């Protein structure tokens, strides 16, 4: 059953009657593929959970919680004291004593998790995540035990800092009363929040999420467009074949290229985590004045082609013909997959980038008056010229050019429907 948590179901794909993890008996998987998909995160607590002795509960007001220490390589399972409190407004409820873990109680922020946005599933109870609300500016150090989790995905996650604590509350809504033990299903939900916290959600239609349910565990062929830094400092090719395991946040939170949607090849893009080998190096001279994060191809993929789009600076939108701010500078390397999850090859990606950068953008620039004294084209005319036949012609031209130069031109036709 999709959409809600089922008690005996696989954590990854929600298939029912799944089997427990042999060691911790705290989480279920329907298949080896789903177990493998969870393992990079699960392994951080699987053994600790199997060793965590619930017969040693210090009192009935102590609950199993997950603590993310700043300077350790893994999160920890801890007993959290949650004494009852009588509040004039809220009545009786259990209030955890966070001080031994977070240091301060007063300034702690709480994020309540009641839905896993990546697995697209509602939870049956609430998980509260507590941290200092000023951790980005109060001198807190980067949280290494959370870095172990966010490192399992190639995306830029929020820079989590300072100690962070997760505990459970029974039920949903806003005023839960009793605390509860967390298990390793909850750990998956916390991990997914930590990974996806700073990613912008985009609406996904029902059809797509059904498609996703079916293909769980399979790998999707995608392409990584490497930025200047990754090309020059790590020797990576500009267009690199990569495989994406499912489920993956890119399908829920990635950006859609409007131009490629118009040519009937919808693709989804997502920023990568910068490689620390060069990302902290301020010496840009090696790149002829270009930022190592420069990735012009990815920028052009995101030119806005909504004729009614206005300039909305606060939202990072620059309007017709321009890529949004988040795709302008400091883009870094980018992962791209097809929305239909069919294989995307480096040559497809090269064609898409070149088409956006040279053909489509020229039409858009014409509409912006860059070919004066020619009268600027109407936006509507530009849009009719950015279409499937135009891309098909471009594709065959590119293959021809490559053949003439003796370069590899073997890739399937990108329209799999013919």
For 242, phi then psi, to 5°, come to: -135, 160
Per CB under 5 A, the list member of 5, 9, 10, 81 interacting with Zn ion is 10
Q: Is residue 260 involved in binding Zn ion (CB under 5 A)?
A: no
Min separation Cβ 225 and Zn ion, Å: 31
Gap between the Cα atoms of 28 and 8, Å rounded: 7
Closest C-alpha to 278, from 297, 298, 294: 294
Q: Is residue 102 involved in binding Zn ion (CB under 5 A)?
A: no
Whose Cβ is closer to Zn ion: residue 33's or residue 70's? 33
Min separation Cβ 12 and Zn ion, Å: 5
Long-range contacts from 156-159, C-beta under 8 angstroms, 24+ separation: 156/198, 156/271, 156/272, 156/273, 156/274, 156/332, 157/194, 157/195, 157/196, 157/197, 157/198, 157/273, 158/194, 158/197, 158/198
Q: Is residue 30 involved in binding Zn ion (CB under 5 A)?
A: yes
Q: How many residues bind Zn ion (CB under 5 A)?
A: 10
Q: Which stretch binds Zn ion (CB under 5 A): 10-18, 123-131, 220-228, 310-318?
A: 10-18
In the three-class reduction of DSSP (H, G, I as helix; E, B as strand; rest coil), residue 339 is classed as coil
Q: Is residue 190 involved in binding Zn ion (CB under 5 A)?
A: no
Gap between the Cα atoms of 10 and 94, Å rounded: 31
Whose Cβ is closer to Zn ion: residue 13's or residue 363's? 13
Whose Cβ is closer to Zn ion: residue 20's or residue 92's? 20
Min separation Cβ 215 and Zn ion, Å: 12
Min separation Cβ 52 and Zn ion, Å: 12
Min separation Cβ 196 and Zn ion, Å: 20
115: β partners: 122
Per CB under 5 A, the list member of 9, 28, 34, 414 interacting with Zn ion is 34
Structure tokens at 357: 């950068």
Binders of Zn ion among residues 43 to 82 (CB under 5 A) are 46
In the three-class reduction of DSSP (H, G, I as helix; E, B as strand; rest coil), residue 47 is classed as helix
Closest C-alpha to 95, from 106, 107, 82: 82
Min separation Cβ 216 and Zn ion, Å: 6
Q: Is residue 250 involved in binding Zn ion (CB under 5 A)?
A: no
Whose Cβ is closer to Zn ion: residue 29's or residue 278's? 29
Q: Is residue 24 involved in binding Zn ion (CB under 5 A)?
A: yes
Q: Which stretch binds Zn ion (CB under 5 A): 24-32, 71-79, 113-121, 166-174?
A: 24-32
Closest C-alpha to 239, from 356, 374, 336, 372: 336
Q: Is residue 113 involved in binding Zn ion (CB under 5 A)?
A: no
Whose Cβ is closer to Zn ion: residue 12's or residue 149's? 12
Q: Do 117 and 42 meet the contact criterion of CB atoms below 8 Å apart?
A: no
Min separation Cβ 246 and Zn ion, Å: 10
Which residue, chain included where needed, has tokens 């009641």?
Answer: 114
C-alpha angle 368-370-374 in degrees, rounded to nearest 5: 95
Structure tokens at 205: 């239609």
Whose Cβ is closer to Zn ion: residue 39's or residue 345's? 39
- Positions in the binding site for Zn ion (CB under 5 A): 10, 12-13, 15, 21, 23-24, 30, 34, 46
């Amino acid at each position: 059953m999709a959409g809600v948590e089922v008690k005996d179901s696989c954590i990854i794909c929600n298939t029912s009657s799944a089997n427990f993890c042999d060691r911790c008996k705290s989480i279920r998987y329907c298949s080896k593929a789903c177990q493998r998909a969870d393992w990079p995160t699960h392994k951080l607590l699987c053994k600790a959970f199997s060793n965590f002795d619930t017969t040693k509960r210090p009192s009935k007001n102590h609950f199993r919680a997950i603590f993310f220490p700043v300077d350790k390589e893994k999160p920890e399972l801890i007993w959290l004291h949650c004494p009852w409190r009588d509040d004039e407004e809220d009545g009786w409820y259990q209030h955890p004593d966070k001080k031994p873990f977070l240091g301060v109680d007063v300034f702690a922020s709480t994020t309540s998790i009641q839905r896993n946005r990546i697995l697209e599933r509602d939870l049956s109870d609430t998980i509260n995540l507590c941290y200092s609300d000023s951790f980005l500016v109060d001198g807190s150090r980067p949280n290494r035990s959370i870095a172990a989790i966010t490192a399992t995905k190639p995306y830029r996650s929020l820079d989590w800092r300072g100690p962070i604590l997760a505990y459970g509350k029974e039920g949903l809504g806003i005023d839960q009363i009793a605390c509860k033990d967390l298990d390793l299903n909850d750990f998956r939900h916390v991990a997914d929040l930590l990974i996806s916290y700073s990613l912008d959600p985009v609406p996904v239609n029902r059809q797509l999420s059904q498609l996703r349910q079916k293909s769980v565990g399979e790998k999707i062929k995608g392409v990584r467009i490497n930025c200047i830094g990754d090309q020059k400092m790590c020797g990576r090719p500009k267009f690199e074949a990569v495989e994406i395991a499912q489920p993956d946040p890119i399908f829920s939170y990635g950006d859609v290229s409007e131009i490629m949607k118009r040519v009937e090849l919808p693709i989804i893009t997502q920023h990568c985590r910068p490689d620390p080998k060069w990302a902290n190096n301020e010496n840009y001279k090696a790149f002829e004045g270009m930022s190592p994060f420069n990735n012009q191809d990815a920028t052009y993929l995101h030119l806005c082609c909504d004729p009614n789009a206005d300039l909305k600076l606060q939202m990072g939108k620059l309007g017709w013909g321009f890529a949004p701010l988040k795709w302008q500078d400091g883009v870094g390397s980018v992962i791209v997959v097809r929305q239909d999850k069919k294989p995307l090859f480096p040559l497809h990606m090269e064609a898409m980038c070149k088409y956006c950068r040279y053909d489509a953008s020229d039409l858009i620039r014409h509409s912006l008056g860059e070919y004066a004294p020619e009268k600027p084209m109407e936006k509507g005319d530009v849009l009719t010229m950015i279409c499937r036949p135009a891309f098909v012609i471009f594709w065959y031209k590119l293959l021809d050019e490559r053949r003439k130069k003796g370069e590899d031109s073997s890739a399937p036709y990108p329209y799999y429907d013919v």
